[in-house]
């Protein structure tokens, strides 16, 4: 374990501490779907244990039960988030689905959710596709009154997608009482915010974003206590929403540069946000570092995302960018810009989008690692083109 060292050091070494003992420098990629054994009786006993979600030494018997390469990524992410365990899935939505199914399995099918959330998360909760019901609230002050005996957890995304609004996690955890708080930490990453230290019981990531960091891997991960991780592993075994070993390798590799990437992109995002405030083509900017009355001692810095309302045609702005990539997703080394109302939050009812502060002229920018002046010049010319 590398606990006690700085986050930067842990990001490099977590999940790799035993490589010297194995005589290798790069993380091995285990692509096996099955693991042979001549001790069938012994394997039967191990399988009985693994089926409960408990981790036991030795090979995982079958790729749907577990994978050594993916296990390294899980160990590393759990360490960075300060949790006992982590369970990886094929995508962020598969990870959220497993959390909901864990609630249903425990006889708790109700969820309280604070808008805005990622659009597909909103849709999954609202549609009740997994047998859950949801009570939506618009402020943290409404949380306590929305709780029920059958509430599985309270879910919040902070900074919010796509408005970048922050929620005080310490106050929210207190309002939740004994009900677990699930925090989507995709935007902040453990570099800028560690929800478990602030009272959260479950920390969820779309690993596709900053954890991978290069726009070439899909994945999701949940960091939590070991007892909850066991249930999630059972659900993953039964549903098959497993992370591919190559994806596990890429995500672990992504963690090693995560602090450097997030801090560099955040510095550029802060500069762009400050300039956009006074741009004639912009009517409003949302960026955590610009907000008044931010939660104290919660998120370090403003992060690598910002959103802004344009005075002209937002779709014309998107059509005019040349350095920035007009695409959904976020957290890549290249900057990405998109229209939430048309894409990432299209599945959310228009009235609910409006209640969540997602206007039709809102654009969300995920800042990458390009030169700040090149990004600014591209934004400036695109905003002027959008003005007509």
**318 and 243 in one domain?**
no
Say which DSSP state 300 is in. Answer: S
1 located within any domain: no
**275 and 213 in one domain?**
no
For 257-309, write each residue's pLDDT tens digit. Answer: 999 999 999 999 999 999 999 999 999 999 999 998 899 899 999 999 999 99
CA-CA distance, 246 to 27, in Å (whole number)? Answer: 11
**274 and 132 in one domain?**
no
Mean pLDDT of 156-180: 96
Phi first, then psi: give them for residue 110, nearest 5 degrees.
-105, 140
pTM of the model: 0.96
Q: Which helix (H) or strand (E) holds 338?
A: strand 336-338
**135 and 190 in one domain?**
yes
109 located within any domain: yes
Q: Which helix (H) or strand (E) holds 381?
A: helix 372-386
Say which DSSP state 205 is in. Answer: E
**In whole numbers, what is the pLDDT of the chain averaged over residues?**
95
For 305-364, write each residue's pLDDT tens digit. Answer: 999 999 999 999 999 999 999 999 999 999 999 999 888 888 888 888 887 888 899 999
* Predicted local confidence at residue 382, as pLDDT: 98
CA-CA distance, 103 to 123, in Å (whole number)? Answer: 18
Phi first, then psi: give them for residue 175, nearest 5 degrees.
-65, -30
CB distance 70 to 43 below 8 Å: no
295 located within any domain: yes
Annotated active-site residue in 118, 287, 353, 364: 118
Among 255, 275, 303, the domain boundary falls at: 255
* Predicted local confidence at residue 1, as pLDDT: 45
Checking if the pLDDT of 160 tops 60, the result is yes
99 located within any domain: yes
Both tokens assigned to 12 = 């490099």
**311 and 251 in one domain?**
no
User: Look-up: residue for tokens 């009272």?
Assistant: 199
Q: What separation in angstroms does the CA of 105 have from each of 112, 152, 225, 233?
A: 17, 10, 17, 13
Give the total number of structural domains in the chain. Answer: 2
CB distance 142 to 170 below 8 Å: no
Both tokens assigned to 385 = 């083109």
Q: Which residues contact 336 (CB under 8 A, 6 or more apart)?
A: 324, 325, 326, 327, 328, 329, 330, 365, 366, 368
For 20-30, write each residue's pLDDT tens digit. Answer: 999 999 999 99
Annotated active-site residue in 64, 170, 294, 346: 64
Annotated active-site residue in 10, 184, 261, 287: 184
Instruction: Mark whether 64 is an active-site residue.
Output: yes
Return the closest-CA partner of residue 299 out of 334, 269, 335, 327: 269
For 57-93, write each residue's pLDDT tens digit. Answer: 888 999 999 999 999 999 999 999 999 999 999 999 9
* Predicted local confidence at residue 3, as pLDDT: 56
CATH code of the domain in which 315 resides: 3.90.1150.10
**312 and 344 in one domain?**
yes
Taking phi first (over 0 means left), then psi (-120 to 50 degrees means alpha), and beta for anything else, what does residue 312 get? beta
**335 and 208 in one domain?**
no
**319 and 177 in one domain?**
no
CA-CA distance, 352 to 359, in Å (whole number)? Answer: 11
For 223-235, write each residue's pLDDT tens digit. Answer: 999 999 999 999 9
| Buried-exposed string 148-187: b where 16+ CB fall within 10 A, e elsewhere | eeebbbbbbbbbbbbbbbbbbbeebbebbeebbbbbbbbb
**172 and 268 in one domain?**
no
Among 232, 255, 278, the domain boundary falls at: 255
* Predicted local confidence at residue 327, as pLDDT: 96
Among 211, 230, 255, the domain boundary falls at: 255
CA-CA distance, 363 to 316, in Å (whole number)? Answer: 11
Alpha-carbon radius of gyration of the chain: 21
**169 and 139 in one domain?**
yes
CATH code of the domain in which 162 resides: 3.40.640.10
CA-CA distance, 120 to 149, in Å (whole number)? Answer: 26
The pLDDT-based confidence of 140 (bands split at 50, 70, 90) is: confident
Instruction: Mark whether 184 is an active-site residue.
Output: yes
User: What string of DSSP letters covers 33-73?
Assistant: SB---S-HHHHHHHHHHHTTT---SS--SBTTT--HHHHHH
* Domain that residue 98 falls in: 7-255
Annotated active-site residue in 16, 46, 209, 364: 209
């Amino acid at each position: 374990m590398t606990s006690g060292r700085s986050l930067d050091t842990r990001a490099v070494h977590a999940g790799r501490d035993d490589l010297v003992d194995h005589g290798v420098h790069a993380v091995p990629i285990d692509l096996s779907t099955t693991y042979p054994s001549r001790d069938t009786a012994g394997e039967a006993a191990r399988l009985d244990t693994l089926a409960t979600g408990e981790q036991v030494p030795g090979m995982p018997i079958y790729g749907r039960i577990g994978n050594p390469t993916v296990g390294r990524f899980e160990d590393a992410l759990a360490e960075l988030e300060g949790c006992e365990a982590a369970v990886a899935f094929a995508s962020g939505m598969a990870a959220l689905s497993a959390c909901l199914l864990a609630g249903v399995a425990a006889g708790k099918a109700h969820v309280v959710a604070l808008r805005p959330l990622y659009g597909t998360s909103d849709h999954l909760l609202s549609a009740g596709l997994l047998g859950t019901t949801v009570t939506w609230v618009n402020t943290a002050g409404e949380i306590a009154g929305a709780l029920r005996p059958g509430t599985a957890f309270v879910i919040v995304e902070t900074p919010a997608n796509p408005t970048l609004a922050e929620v005080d996690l310490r106050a929210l955890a207190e309002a939740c009482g004994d009900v677990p708080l699930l925090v989507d930490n995709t935007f902040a990453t453990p570099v800028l915010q560690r929800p478990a230290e602030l009272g959260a019981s479950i920390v969820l990531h779309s690993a596709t974003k900053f954890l991978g960091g290069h726009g070439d891997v899909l994945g999701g991960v949940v960091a939590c206590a070991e007892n909850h991780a066991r249930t999630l592993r059972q659900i993953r075994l039964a549903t098959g929403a497993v992370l591919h070993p190559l994806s596990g390798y890429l995500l672990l590799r992504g963690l090693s540069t995560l602090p450097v990437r997030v801090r560099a992109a955040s510095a550029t995002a802060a500069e762009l946000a400050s300039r956009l405030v006074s741009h004639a083509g912009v009517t409003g900017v949302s960026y955590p570092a610009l907000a008044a009355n931010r939660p104290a001692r919660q998120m370090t810095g403003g992060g690598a995302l910002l959103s802004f309302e344009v005075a002209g045609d937002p779709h014309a702005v998107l059509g005019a960018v040349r350095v920035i990539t007009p695409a959904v997703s976020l957290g890549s080394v290249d900057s990405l810009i998109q229209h939430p109302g048309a894409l990432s939050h299209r599945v959310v009812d228009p009235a609910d989008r409006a209640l969540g502060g997602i206007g039709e002229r809102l654009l969300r920018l995920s800042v990458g690692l390009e030169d700040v002046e090149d990004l600014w010049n591209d934004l400036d010319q695109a905003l002027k083109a959008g003005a007509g």
